[in-house]
Structures are given as C-alpha cells and as structure tokens.
Chain A
Amino acid sequence: GAVVSQHPSRVICKSGTSVKIECRSLDFQATTMFWYRQFPKQSLMLMATSNEGSKATYEQGVEKDKFLINHASLTLSTLTVTSAHPEDSSFYICSAPVVSGNTIYFGEGSWLTVV
C-alpha cells in the first residue's frame, strides 16, 4: 500500500535554532499534504495545507513565518520550525491523500524537543 515516510523521528534542538522535518510519499504523487501538531494528551491539530508548486495555506493562529512549509516536488513536503522555543516542543505529523484510492496516509511523526 501507499507509504508516507517522515523524518527525523526524533530531534532535539537548542532554543533559537531552526529544524526541518521532511514528509515524503514513497510510491505515489501527492500534490497536497497536511501538517498536524499534537501536544501530549491532546488531539491532532491541523497546522497547514502544503500545496505542490504554490504557497501553503495556514490555519488560523498558525504563524506562517515561524512554520515554513515547502512543497517543491510531488513527493516531498518540508516543515521548518524557525527560531524554535521550548513551547514548540511537540509531535509533528504529516499526511498525504491518495486521490485515486480516496484515502489518507500518515507519516510516522516527528518528536521535536527544544531545549
């Protein structure tokens, strides 16, 4: 079946630095991908919609200058957390819909810890 690969699975970074998370569709093309954030014991909250070849669409309250999204190819979307702070520590996870199968696949998720 379709697979979405995400990495790194875990990353620790220092406060003030930036970290990039990759989401890759391995055997299908994804013109759209979605990025979610999940704080401990909470639900998955949609951050933004990543659109291949165009700007991402951000949900209300999500800072687009802090969470940079790039979708430069049909198989890769990246989320860069810029100037990270401890409150950005969270589980970040991407998803990609398969239009032909009318279903969605999730990446493995990335644990970000900002120290």
Chain B
Amino acid sequence: GENVEQHPSTLSVQEGDSAVIKCTYSDSASNYFPWYKQELGKRPQLIIDIRSNVGEKKDQRIAVTLNKTAKHFSLHITETQPEDSAVYFCAASQGAQKLVFGQGTRLTINP
C-alpha cells in the first residue's frame, strides 16, 4: 500500500520568510496530492492540491510542486504570516478517494 513520509516534523521561520515542507510517496499509482492545514481539534482544511498531470500549481502565497519520477512533492509558503502557524499534512491517493497522510509538520511563524 501507499506510504507517505513528511519532513520536517517541526519548522520555525521568521515572519515574511518562506517555508517549505516536503513529502515523498511510494505508490506510483497515486495521482492526487492534497495539502491540508489543521487547527487543533478541527477538521483538516484543504489549502492546495495537485494532480499528477501537472508539475506545479500556485495560489497566491502558496505553491505545490510535484516530481513524479522521484515521487516527491513539496509545499511552498511565501511571505509567511503569523496566521500561517498551524499543523500541515500532505496526503496521497489514487483519485480523490482513500487518502494516506504524512506525519504532519508543525509550522511556527515568529513575529
């Protein structure tokens, strides 16, 4: 089955700087790669996703890149703000179905 590895587990950056979180996956059949932001005790919020037919997707300060050959994808947040502080999860699946999540990254933005 699919296995998703996420790094780093914690990340602290200065406000205004960029943050990068990386994930690798094992199943070459996976073709859907979402990123979620989760507040404590709340449901995960989709912040961006990418499908295997594209290599990069951007939405304002957030971007995701995908390297199918290497089986890794990354989340890039630019011009970080205090409200970006949260736990972020990557995930992978075949179609938008059974998601396998990474271990999570606790991002802290220091003012």
Contacts and interface: CB of A to CB of B under 8 A. Distances in A.
B42 A109 contact: yes
A102 B96 contact: yes
Contacts of A44: 44, 89, 99, 101
B99 A95 contact: yes
A43 B43 CA distance: 12
Interface string A94-115: 0101100111101111010000
A46 interface: yes
Contact of A91 (B34, B41, B100, B103): B41
Given A93-B43, A106-B44, A46 B104 contact: no
Interface in B84-104: 89, 95-104
B42 A43 contact: no
Contact of B96 (A43, A97, A109): A97
A32 B95 CA distance: 13
Nearest to B106: A41
B101 to A, nearest CB: 5
Nearest to A109: B43
B42 A104 contact: no
Interface residues of A, number: 22
A49 interface: yes
A103 B96 contact: yes
Contact of B89 (A43, A46, A93, A104): A43
Contacts of B44: 44, 93, 106
A43 B101 contact: yes
Interface in B17-74: 32, 34, 41-44, 46, 49
Interface of A: 32, 34, 42-46, 49, 91, 93, 95, 97-98, 101-104, 106-109, 111
Given A34-B98, A44-B101, A109-B42, 9 more contacts: A34-B97, A43-B89, A43-B101, A44-B44, A93-B43, A93-B44, A102-B32, A104-B46, A108-B43
Nearest 3 A-B pairs (CB), nearest first? A106-B43, A44-B101, A43-B101
